[in-house]
Structure 1
Amino acid sequence: MPDMTHLGLDETALERLGGLWTAREIAQQPQMLRETQALLMARRAEIEAFLAPLLAQPNLRVILTGAGTSAFIGECLAPVLSTRLGRRVEAIPTTDLACAPQLYFEADTPTVLVSFGRSGNSPESVAAVELADRFVKSLHHLVITCNADGALARYGQGARGQTVLLPDATHDRSFAMTSSFSCMTYAALAVFGGIADRDARVSAIAHATQQVIGTHAATMKAVADEGYERVVYLGSHIFQGLARESGLKLLELTNGGLVTMFDSPLGFRHGPKTIVNDKTLVVVFLSNNAYTRGYDIDLIDELRRDRDAARVIAITAQDGVGLPVEDQVRIEGLEDADDADLLFPYIVAPQMFAFYESLRYKLTPDKPNTSGTVNRVVQGVRIHELS
């Protein structure tokens, strides 16, 4: 008989609380990562045939784009993919491309526009692909989306495009993006980093993600019940994008009830640290890279010496952070993994924390915005004509 509980609550209780879809979509991520890899393997030849001649161009530019959470995928991946490909890879949100295309598009630079979209219907995202076609002479579209019926999915099916459609279950029905974020991130990492190479690593990533859900759901609930008034997420390089996504999840699911911010451990000292008081929770994503990790640990040590923060929690795949066991979310099996592999088990702890905070605020996680002014697919955006 299938397990009918998610994040420690049965489906009947979750439905009553208005959080069934959010809990289910957080909990399904290990399986969705496996299914995403299987889908990519099935289409490997087609995807590689599309990208190979483009990546052979030494002056190729790759733009990773999306709106909101979909934009943060680019922030997480751009540094990694740029290094691996030896090409310009930039994260530019569609909300920037749509309002100032003349500042971002380069007419004479061959470009692959990688568009991420859960629904694929955000007005800015549709506008961005249309503007790119107008501004860039040699342009190709790679669309990574969860919705077969979205505008972006159809746009990527043109002669100069390719659409990677993810498993239908990743088209999250809850307000906040969770499994859509992780699976679109994974798909882009695999497509540009080697689909076959990922096949040998997906099991360890999915297992580690499941371990965090199974081991630390109760921990995240207990942390939420402590009643912090401010939450700060910190991460170096690619984890700064993850920190931004984590802060947004908390802001969305508490309907703005919690003050949140994100930064890098090094950047945090330059003013933003003034947010810390005795009602502040600080969460640090630690790098597996020894050099970078040194800076992460320095900041943790400083926060402990200051004694201003109510609590400091490390999300880490390695020990040796100087924090008590109860203040560590330890990731099993990825102690030697590349930091990019850690994106997936790392994000589920903040997602669970945001879910439990939503319940603590007596909101319905599947639809936390009580006024109806913020929607699952953005509304009220007018795209202006560009002469």
Structure 2
Amino acid sequence: MQKYLNYSLDWLEQHGAQHTAKEICQQPQIWRNLLQIISQQQSQLQSFLQPLLSDPNLEIILTGAGSSAFGGVALAPWLREQTHRNVHAYATTEIVTNPQQYLSPNKKTLIVSFARSGNSPESVAAVKLADQIVSDCYHLFLTCNPTCALTEYMAKENNPKRIFHLVMPEGTHDLSFAMTSSISSMMLATLLLLDKLDLEKAHNAVMEIASICEDKLSSWQSITKQLASKEHDRVIYVGSSCFTGIAQESALKILELTAGKVATRFDSILGLRHGPKFMVDTKSLVVCFFSSEPYVHQYDIDLFNELVHDKIASDVIALTSQESIDQQILSVDCKLPDCWLIFPYLVFAQMLAFEKSLHLGLTPDNPCPTGEVNRVVKGVNIYPFNKN
């Protein structure tokens, strides 16, 4: 009998959880499929990207809304360090309301749009505003939907060499409310296209991280279920650099799948002490994402030890790439750089949110059946923008 996260398909269907469970579990294979898609389109991608990336003054903006924005927040610091390029992460929800604060009219710019459906009002509006404001603007659309509002915009383009649309593998256009395989695949695509990795190294890294995550989907199930069964009414995620964005995405997953019944917070490792630590109380779970970088790891350990020593939070746990015998520190056993640890850390957060939703008696596939919050955002008015 087919199972996802150790639940039978029949059980999952009865509890409105089949899509979320399947989309979490399918990610390792989705990543392998994405690698094949990029390999097949390597020539076209290089023809589009290479002339842009050869310009040292190119500005790169990673954008999206919600999870799609947080994916960019996670990747931008890493890409900035590794490629020495001007890489920024601005949400479409910020660009649309204040475009001149985020878009540089006289800088050659590549806008990388993360979009699960490609139909969110802000997704198209941000692209149009970029074209209106930036004199030399290019677009890389990363979507999970081959036919959408972004593709319609592309079809009307007079200069097709200015836009490239890469569609994620089949199955990534999540049917569940919360983004899981969609956001992880778009993040992986960004790493593979913009980081300075040769094909062999990229292939080996994807295969290794996919294998690690397949193992963790099994071994972490009992841990996440046990944590979810505790009466935490607050969950706080913390991490530095690319893990700050992952902490933000992880906090959103809990908030979404519990329909707001669990309060969440995210912060950087050092930032938590500057006021937000008041969020930690006796019904809190704190999850720390440890870096594999020795310098950063010192700060990770200091905060973790402080939180444990405080004896305030109900539970404090950490995820690390290093071996650990401490039951509060879960080892991923991965020697790859931090940008690859993003993926098992994401999987853990997705599993925990899924189990918490079930524990609260909700339906993870649609935790808000009354429709106040929708899978594809509704009710957004887009207004004409007149340049000053």
Measured against the shorter chain, the TM-score band is over 0.9
Letter in 2 for 1:115: S
Q: What is the 5 A alignment of 1:110-121?
A: 110-121=108-119
Match in the other structure for 1:365 = 364
Question: Aligned partner of 1:374: which letter?
Answer: V
Shift of 1:156: 4.7
Do the aligned partners of residues 291 and 156 (structure 1) sit closer, same or farther apart at CA in structure 2, a change above 3 Å counting?
farther
- 1:134 is matched with 132
Aligned runs of 1:247-262 on 2, under 5 Å?
Answer: 247-262=251-266
How big is the shift at 1:34?
0.6
Counterpart of 1:36 in 2: which secondary structure? Answer: helix
Partner of 1:94: 92
Output the CA distance in 2 between the equivalents of 1:195 and 1:266.
34
Structure 2 counterpart of 1:305: 309
Farther off after superposition, 106-115 or 75-84 = 75-84
Paired amino acid for 1:290: P
Deviations 1:72-122 (A, max 9, x none): 111011011112222100000000111111111111100000000000111
Q: TM-score, normalized by length of structure 2? A: 0.96
**What is the percentage of aligned positions where both structures have the same residue?**
44
Counterpart of 1:160 in structure 2 is 162
Question: 1:283, 1:313 within 8 Å by CA — same for their partners in 2?
Answer: yes
Contact 1:280 1:311 in 2 (8 A): yes
State the 1:151 CA deviation: 1.5
Change (3 A) 1:195 1:384: farther
State the shift of 1:371 in Å. Answer: 2.3
Paired residue secondary structure (2:138): strand
Query: In the TM superposition, what whole-angstrom CA distance separates every residue of 1:289-313 from its partner, at most 9, and x where no partner exists?
Result: 0000110000011011111111111
Residue 271, structure 1, aligned to residue 275, structure 2: yes
Mapped to 1, the partners of 2:266 and 2:198 lie a distance apart of: 31
Q: Residues 8 and 218 of structure 1 are in contact (CA less than 8 Å); yes or no, is this contact kept in structure 2? A: no
Structure 2: which amino acid aligns with 1:232?
Answer: I
> What displacement does 1:195 show?
6.0
In structure 1, what is the Cα distance between the partners aligned to 2:68 and 2:358?
A: 25
Q: 8 Å contact 2:73–2:245 — kept in the other structure?
A: yes
Residue 160 of structure 1, CA deviation: 0.6
Aligned twin of 2:36 = 38
CA distance in 2, matches of 1:117, 1:195: 26
SS of corresponding position for 1:167: coil
Do residues 382 (structure 1) and 384 (structure 2) align? no
Check conservation: 1:212, 1:329, Cα contact below 8 A.
Answer: no
Residues 330-380 of structure 1 deviation map (CA, whole Å, 9 limit, x = unaligned): 213x1x211001011111111011111111111111000132110000000
Query: Which whole-Å CA distance do the structure 1 matches of 2:132 and 2:297 have between them?
Result: 43
Q: What per-residue deviation string (whole Å, max 9, x for no partner) do you get for residues 99-146 of structure 1?
A: 111111111100000000000111011000001000001011001110
Letter in 1 for 2:186: M
Alignment of 1:214-233 (within 5 A): 214-233=218-237
Which residue of 313, 319, 324 maps to 2:323?
A: 319
The equivalent of 1:187 in structure 2 is: 189
1: distance between equivalents of 2:284 and 2:133? 46
CA contact (8 A) 2:48 2:161 kept: no
The TM-score with structure 1 as length reference comes to: 0.96
For 1:305 and 1:83, the matched residues in 2 are separated by 34
* Distance in 2 of aligned mates of 1:200 and 1:237: 24
SS in 1 for 2:220: helix
242-251 or 77-86: bigger deviation: 77-86
Residues 243 and 217 (structure 1), Cα distance of their counterparts in 2 relative to 1, 3 Å cut: same
Give the secondary structure class of the aligned counterpart of 2:140: strand
Query: 1:338 and 1:24 mapped to 2: Cα distance?
Result: 28
Instruction: Report runs of 4+ in structure 1 exceeding 6 Å deviation.
Output: none
| Matches of 2:302 and 2:151, distance apart in 1 | 45
- DSSP 3-state at the match of 1:169: coil
Distance 1:84 1:119 in 2: 30
1:75 aligns with 2:65: no
* Residue from 202, 205, 223 that aligns with 1:201: 205
1:142 aligns to what SS in structure 2?
strand
